[in-house]
Amino acid sequence: MPDQNSTPDTAARGPVMQPSGREVPVAEHFVAPVLDDEGRAGIETQLADKPSNLWRDAWSSLRRNPIFIISALLMLFVLFVAAFPTVFTSASPDSQCTLSNANGAPTAGHPLGFTNQGCDILARVVHGASASLLVGFGATLGVLLVGILLGGLAGYFGGWVDAIVSRIMDIFFAVPLILGAIVLMAVPVMRQNAGIVTLAIVLTIFGWPQMARITRGAVLEVRSAEFITAARSLGMGKLSILFKHVLPNAAGPIIVVATLSLGIFIVVEASLSFLGIGLPPSILSWGHDISAARPQLRTNPGALFWPSLMLSITVLSFMMLGDALRDALDPKGRTR
């Protein structure tokens, strides 16, 4: 039977072999011309131009992501404001308040006007940034420590360790973050010691299960990989495997959740301060200012608007940053 294995008009037609003698059907034996780069399937030594790994890949995709660029610039701006408030205003946020300026319109040197108490709005907004960020970063740090440790142990050791940690996690999950914080902050001991550190601790207490759950999941995924077995047969201890091999591989999702949590903690701090149970009045906070500006909303909306805008920008920048990081670090969400 004739065989049209290579069309007659193909240039790439090689020598035709005639199978000798046998009863094999007379089919064409097509051989492609040998190209330079084939037939040499030796040890592959060619390498990509640039070394790459998860972080470098993530960075190169982040660099081209407008959301990341915008959110990173916003975040840097907020951090700069918090670190160097005097660059933006020379006015003092609390010691130069005079009631004669109450609800005053913007004047030279006070571009945003005055609050009900006669304080400079710009100064209050600028100086309020540090408290929000400190609470946010403090709580995130606490959540990272507790969440990674407990989640990592639960995921890596499994069994009864996992059972206990997971049940504790469920209990804390059942309490909404804000509600839990309100209740705990109302306890006298907490009230007396109210401050940035106390608030961060309270937020950590109710915020860690989220982080622990993510860590546990990521660790479970890595734990059965063969490189973990290889490390075990090297004689490495369980804890050193956990810290040297398992956790670094779980870093991606942990970073994403940490960034998102930071935004949430800043919101919660503002909410609690708004309710009057977060930071004490002696510490400047956007939440306080928003709360204090409420009665004069109709006459002096600027006093409420500016701290709210700063709060929104700060939270938005962390949330967007978290989203951008998730796109870059989570291979499942990556669109390639």
Partner 1 sequence: MSTSTESTNPGGRRRADRAAAPTATGSSAAGPGNTPLLELRNVGITFKTTTGDVEAVKETNITVMPGETVAIVGESGSGKSTSALAAMGLLPENGRISEGQVFFHGEDITHPSRKRLIALRGSEIGMVPQDPMSNLNPVWKIGFQVRETLKANGLPHADKDVVQALKDAGLSDGERRMNQYPHEFSGGMRQRALIAIGLACNPRLLIADEPTSALDVTVQKQILNHLEKLTKEKGTSVLLITHDLGLAAERADRVVVMQKGRVVESGPAQALLQNPKHPYTQQLVRAVPSLTPEDIGAADEGDAAQEIVQIKELVKEYKIRGSWGRSTQFRAVDEVSFTIRKGHTTAIVGESGSGKSTIAKMLLGLEDITSGTIHVDGKDISTFSNKEWFGFRRRVQPIFQNPYGSLDPMRSVFRSIEEPLRVHKVGDAKSRKEKVYDLLDRVALPRQLGDRYPNELSGGQRQRVAIARALALDPEIVVCDEAVSALDVLVQDQVLKLLGQLQEDLGLTYLFITHDLAVVREIAHDVCVMESGKLVEVGSVEQVFENPRQDYTRRLLDAIPGKDLLEV
Contact positions vs partner 1 (CB under 8 A): 1-7, 10, 12, 14-15, 17, 19, 22, 24-25, 27-32, 34, 38-41, 43-45, 47-48, 51-54, 225-227, 229-236, 245, 248-249, 251, 336
Kindly tell me which of 53 and 282 has the beta carbon lying closer to partner 1.
53
Q: Name the minimum Å distance from CB 61 to partner 1.
A: 10
Kindly tell me which of 174 and 226 has the beta carbon lying closer to partner 1.
226
Phi and psi, residue 120, nearest 5°: -70, 125
Torsion of CA 16, 20, 26, 30, to 10 degrees: -30
Kindly tell me which of 5 and 86 has the beta carbon lying closer to partner 1.
5
Q: Name the minimum Å distance from CB 62 to partner 1.
A: 15
Using DSSP's 3-state secondary structure scheme, residue 329 falls into helix
Kindly tell me which of 19 and 111 has the beta carbon lying closer to partner 1.
19
Using DSSP's 3-state secondary structure scheme, residue 226 falls into helix
Q: Name the minimum Å distance from CB 28 to partner 1.
A: 7
Q: Name the minimum Å distance from CB 215 to partner 1.
A: 15
Kindly tell me which of 51 and 188 has the beta carbon lying closer to partner 1.
51
Q: Name the minimum Å distance from CB 246 to partner 1.
A: 10
Place of tokens 């959301």: 67
> Are the C-beta atoms of 190 and 203 separated by less than 8 Å?
no
Q: Name the minimum Å distance from CB 168 to partner 1.
A: 24
Kindly tell me which of 100 and 224 has the beta carbon lying closer to partner 1.
224
Using DSSP's 3-state secondary structure scheme, residue 88 falls into coil
**C-beta atoms surrounding 231 within 10 Å:** 18
What's the length of the chain?
Answer: 336
Calculate helix-pair angle for 121-157, 66-83, nearest 10 degrees.
120
Angle at 138 between CA 133 and CA 143, to 5 degrees: 125
Place of tokens 């935004």: 263
Q: Name the minimum Å distance from CB 36 to partner 1.
A: 12
Using DSSP's 3-state secondary structure scheme, residue 58 falls into helix
Kindly tell me which of 213 and 245 has the beta carbon lying closer to partner 1.
245
Q: Which residues of 147-157 are buried (b: 16+ CB within 10 A; e: fewer)?
A: bbbbbbbbbbb
